[in-house]
Amino acid sequence: MSIHQRQKGFTLVEIMISLALGLLISGAIIQVLVSNSLTERLNRSIASTQESGRFIITRLRNELIMAGRYDLLSPDLNRDVDVVSEGAYVRNHPVILPGEFGAFADVGSVQGAAGANDKVAISLQGLQDCRGLKLGYLDAEEFFIVNEYYVENRTLKCRGFDGRVLQGQKVAVGHNGHAAVTLLDDVESFQVLYGYTNNLVTGDNSARPVGYVTANELPGIFANDGQVVAIRLAVLLKGDSEVPINNVPSFKLLNETAVSPTQKRFYKQFETTITLRNVKNFMRSRKV
């Protein structure tokens, strides 16, 4: 037998079949890898959004729930001013509106125009402002604080003030230029409603909310001897990874018209209602 007769090899048909099978297997592997990558990005977006939502709702609840708190009997309260008058102001102004402080007229709760982000400002007695600053007071001293929360460039921020500085009773100390600090990024929308009660109108001392209004309706509520006893928040957060969502759903936050994000991202809406327990107790103590 000659050497040419002993040589074996693949036929052209066999080579074509092998190539076709290889392409099919490679395509399947690539599809699995792409699918796993997309799933991982989606899971990461869901996890980050859930974590961010829980964090910001918990933080805002813990801080806003103290609106209207003022304890004249607290041994930690700084008494450099007339605390009786100051206490009356804080209890009657748990939610601050713009124009209440002459040199800081922009400080206050604002209803965003045409679905824009809202701003909420509250007053309380505490150990530090929302930025963690003592503003010149001793570590164990409590003082009159005004905290303001708002969104700028899709970032939720807060800035704090010494209420006595806002009222012109003292010079600002340790305020860091009243600069805001970042609480959370990727905030697509931040909306606020205010639950109000009116003992004189309802004849009811339960201090339960009889309705919810926007910030620009509060002057009328206050003029009729009403008071804010609850704050309702809604936040729309954006995931941190782009995911192939062809039809991003619309989201309706509180009283606003539905919004439809344009980016192919995962979005999640969070809402909570915060009862201002200090204000409710104060309103219950009023005579009908």
Model pLDDT, residue 284: 78
Cα–Cα distance, 136 to 281 (Å, whole number): 31
Reported confidence tier of residue 52, pLDDT bands at 50, 70, 90: very high
172 is written with which tokens?
Answer: 């600002």
- Percent with pLDDT over 70 in the chain: 83
Q: Which residues pair with 238 in a beta bridge?
A: 267
User: Is a pLDDT exceeding 60 seen at residue 39?
Assistant: yes
Stronger pLDDT, 80 or 38, i.e. the higher one: 80
62 is written with which tokens?
Answer: 């813990």
Lowest mean pLDDT among 130-144, 208-222, 244-258: 244-258
3 state SS of 265: strand
Cα–Cα distance, 143 to 286 (Å, whole number): 25
Sheet holding 227-242, edge to edge: 211-213, 187-197, 227-242, 265-275
Given a contact cutoff of 8 angstroms between Cβ atoms, the answer to whether 183 and 158 are in contact is: yes
Reported confidence tier of residue 46, pLDDT bands at 50, 70, 90: confident
- Structure confidence by residue, pLDDT tens digits, 107-149: 999 999 988 999 999 999 999 999 999 999 999 999 999 999 9
Cα–Cα distance, 33 to 18 (Å, whole number): 22
User: Is a pLDDT exceeding 70 seen at residue 27?
Assistant: no
Of the candidates 239, 222, 220, 236, the residue with the CA atom closest to the CA atom of residue 269: 236
Given a contact cutoff of 8 angstroms between Cβ atoms, the answer to whether 159 and 131 are in contact is: yes
Calculate mean pLDDT across residues 268-274: 95
Model pLDDT, residue 288: 45
User: Is a pLDDT exceeding 70 seen at residue 44?
Assistant: yes
Other CB atoms within a 10 A radius of the CB of residue 39 amount to 11
Across all residues in the chain, what is the average pLDDT? 87
Stronger pLDDT, 254 or 38, i.e. the higher one: 254
13 is written with which tokens?
Answer: 């048909």
Given a contact cutoff of 8 angstroms between Cβ atoms, the answer to whether 244 and 266 are in contact is: no
- Structure confidence by residue, pLDDT tens digits, 79-97: 999 999 999 999 999 999 9
pTM, two decimal places = 0.85
Cα–Cα distance, 184 to 257 (Å, whole number): 24
Model pLDDT, residue 35: 55
Q: Which residues pair with 265 in a beta bridge?
A: 242
User: Is a pLDDT exceeding 80 seen at residue 20?
Assistant: no
- Structure confidence by residue, pLDDT tens digits, 141-188: 999 999 999 999 999 999 999 999 999 999 998 888 889 999 999 999
- Structure confidence by residue, pLDDT tens digits, 232-250: 999 999 987 777 677 778 8
Other CB atoms within a 10 A radius of the CB of residue 237 amount to 27
Cα–Cα distance, 60 to 53 (Å, whole number): 11
- Give the chain's length: 288
Calculate mean pLDDT across residues 50-75: 95
Model pLDDT, residue 33: 54
User: Is a pLDDT exceeding 90 seen at residue 11?
Assistant: no
Given a contact cutoff of 8 angstroms between Cβ atoms, the answer to whether 26 and 18 are in contact is: no
Calculate mean pLDDT across residues 185-214: 87
Cα–Cα distance, 74 to 278 (Å, whole number): 15
Given a contact cutoff of 8 angstroms between Cβ atoms, the answer to whether 196 and 232 are in contact is: no
Of the candidates 31, 38, 52, the residue with the CA atom closest to the CA atom of residue 245: 38
